Amino acid sequence: SCQQKPTGPIEMTMCDYETVESVNEELYEQLHALVRTPFFKYFRVDLYRDCPFWDENILCVNEDCRIVTVDENEIPVNWRAESLSKLEQPQDENLSEFPGCYQRNSDFCYLDDVTEGDYVDLSLNPERFTGYNGPSSRRVWEAIYQENCFGQSELSLMNQPYKAAASLPDTLLDPLRAQSNIDPVEDQQCVEKRVYYKIISGLHASISTHICYEMLNKTTGEWVPDLQCFVSRVASHPERLQYIYFNTVLLLRAVARLGSYLSAYDYCASATHDEHTITIDAMRKVIDIATATGKFDETVLFRGSNADVLKQEFKEHFRNVTRIMDCVGCDKCRLWGKVQTTGVATALKVLFEMDEKALDPKSNVHLLSRGEVVALMNALHRFTESLHAVELFRMMWREASEDE
Ligand code: FAD
């Protein structure tokens, strides 16, 4: 299963697997350089919100779950809470009130208020095996898949009484059963539902790939790739691997659409001359690759007679996924869960909410918040790193087969 490369068109896109593979190493290299620059490595996040859906005790006491935050004094002045609250909060901001907090409702996700949370240096907190598993992580994934129940909004967690998820029917809390009920690949009726499932399953597969790519060898204390882990979690389910490619194309399309905006963005703050040059250079190359390969046609979605209702539902469900991240019981997993769901939500907003006029950097300088730009590029980096890891696993598989 590890040797069977997907070939031909990537379903629902105008791109094929071979094209993505032919550009991935260059893309990964450029994104790797980009996410190490000051603009893209500092991410402000509130990691300590209550789980709004059930009582979650943070169970992961493992050292590898912990994250290191950055003192705000180390952060450029214009990104500190005080300056950001003046600059970034739009006048007509759309605040939603939740138990204990407010969050900005940004189409496909809830963004933390810019004055809350801590800065994290993402480059010092790599997403890898942390030991977080068991009922807590299982329940989070179940809740995320449950949001795929379109047209049955009473099944969405958002419509359940606060902290009442435990009372949901068993069929909804069992991912295998829930999945077989809702797996939309069989459902030709609703392309949007299939897209939603591919996004979530691809994100899950990508996170699993990172865990397997950097697994802790408890004997030597080294971080090593674990082929068996990758085979059982991803490669033995070929569609999961395919959905990582799908997400990559989706995000590339968003970056391509944002080309002019991202080229005109001011990445100067705090960067030295060299860092600024690296940022601009890497961003230009990523945009070029995205323009050539991000061939996803967003106009085929949300077109039918109930398009507006469906889009509203899609947004609500994806926003819910971003809230479910507050239920992840391991700091580092929650951090990367938030970065990646915010990144995907930003891509969805760019694809489904913005016309060419909105994307014009001259007419819409504050199109995206800094956090959204950082999350989008880091999420794309994560997907390309997964595809990079897949190549390594294929090589390991070949070597292991030759040895037999
Ligand atoms: P899980 O990955 O928990 O999957 C649960 C069930 O979902 C599986 O039994 C299977 O039926 C189904 N499933 C699995 N993959 C897919 C797929 N791609 N598509 C459809 N269905 C699928 N752990 C870490 O070590 N490091 C991290 O950084 C990390 N980050 C996380 C971030 C989030 C948001 C969450 C929810 C969890 C994170 N975890 C992390 C935990 C990790 O994802 C797993 O839950 C854990 O390793 C246990 O894995 P598992 O093999 O039991 O199956």
Per residue in 184-209, pLDDT (tens digit) is 444 544 788 899 999 999 999 999 99
Q: How far is CA 326 from CA 42, 251, 285, 372, in A?
A: 20, 24, 34, 18
Residue with CA at minimum distance from ligand 1 atom 4: 138
CA atoms of 265 and 25, how far apart (whole Å): 25
Atom nearest to 131 CA in ligand 1 = 25
CA atoms of 340 and 79, how far apart (whole Å): 21
Q: Is 161 exposed, middle or buried (0-12, 13-18, 19+ CB in 10 A)?
A: exposed
Give the mutation target among 139, 211, 323 for probing the ligand 1 site: most ligand atoms within 8 A of CB. 211
Residue with CA at minimum distance from ligand 1 atom 7: 175
Percent pLDDT > 90 in the chain is 56
The letter for the amino acid at 1 is: S
Q: What confidence tier does 170 reach under pLDDT thresholds 50, 70, 90? A: very low
Atom nearest to 203 CA in ligand 1 = 18
Q: CA angle, 75 as apex, 71 and 81 as ends, to 5°? A: 85
Provide the β-strand partners of residue 104: 95, 111
Clarify whether 333 is annotated catalytic: yes
pLDDT of residue 94: 57
Digit-coded pLDDT (tens) for 360-401: 988 888 889 889 999 999 999 999 999 999 999 999 999 998
Report the 10 Å Cβ neighbour count for 9.
Answer: 14
CA atoms of 356 and 52, how far apart (whole Å): 36
Contact between residue 389 and residue 225 where contact means Cβ atoms under 8 Å apart: yes
Q: What confidence tier does 100 reach under pLDDT thresholds 50, 70, 90? A: very low
CA atoms of 395 and 404, how far apart (whole Å): 15
pTM of the model: 0.89
List residues near ligand 1 (CB under 6 A).
127, 129-130, 132-133, 137-138, 140-141, 175-176, 201, 204-205, 207-208, 211, 233, 240, 328, 332-333, 336-337
Digit-coded pLDDT (tens) for 62-90: 778 889 889 888 887 777 766 666 555 55
Could you tell me the distance, in angstroms and rounded to a whole number, from the CA of residue 88 to the centre of ligand 1?
Answer: 34
- Among the residue ranges 277-286, 299-308, 331-340, 350-359, the one predicted with the least confidence is 299-308
Q: Is 22 exposed, middle or buried (0-12, 13-18, 19+ CB in 10 A)?
A: exposed
Provide the β-strand partners of residue 105: 110
Contact between residue 183 and residue 149 where contact means Cβ atoms under 8 Å apart: no
Give the mutation target among 146, 204, 247 for probing the ligand 1 site: most ligand atoms within 8 A of CB. 204
Give the mutation target among 133, 203, 341 for probing the ligand 1 site: most ligand atoms within 8 A of CB. 133
Residue with CA at minimum distance from ligand 1 atom 48: 133
Contact between residue 67 and residue 47 where contact means Cβ atoms under 8 Å apart: yes
Could you tell me the distance, in angstroms and rounded to a whole number, from the CA of residue 356 to the centre of ligand 1?
Answer: 37
pLDDT of residue 7: 94
Residue with CA at minimum distance from ligand 1 atom 37: 137
Pick from 125, 108, 176, 98: which is nearest to 343 by CA?
Answer: 108
CA atoms of 359 and 162, how far apart (whole Å): 37
Q: DSSP labels for 189-258? A: T-HHHHHHHHHHHHHHHHHHHHHHHTEEETTTTEEE--HHHHIIIIITSHHHHHHHHHHHHHHHHHHHHT
Q: What confidence tier does 165 reach under pLDDT thresholds 50, 70, 90? A: very low
pLDDT of residue 190: 77
pLDDT of residue 402: 86
Q: Is 341 exposed, middle or buried (0-12, 13-18, 19+ CB in 10 A)?
A: buried
How do 95-98 and 101-106 pair as beta strands?
antiparallel
Clarify whether 330 is annotated catalytic: yes
Region for residue 227 given its phi and psi (left: phi exceeds 0; alpha: psi -120 to 50; beta: otherwise): alpha
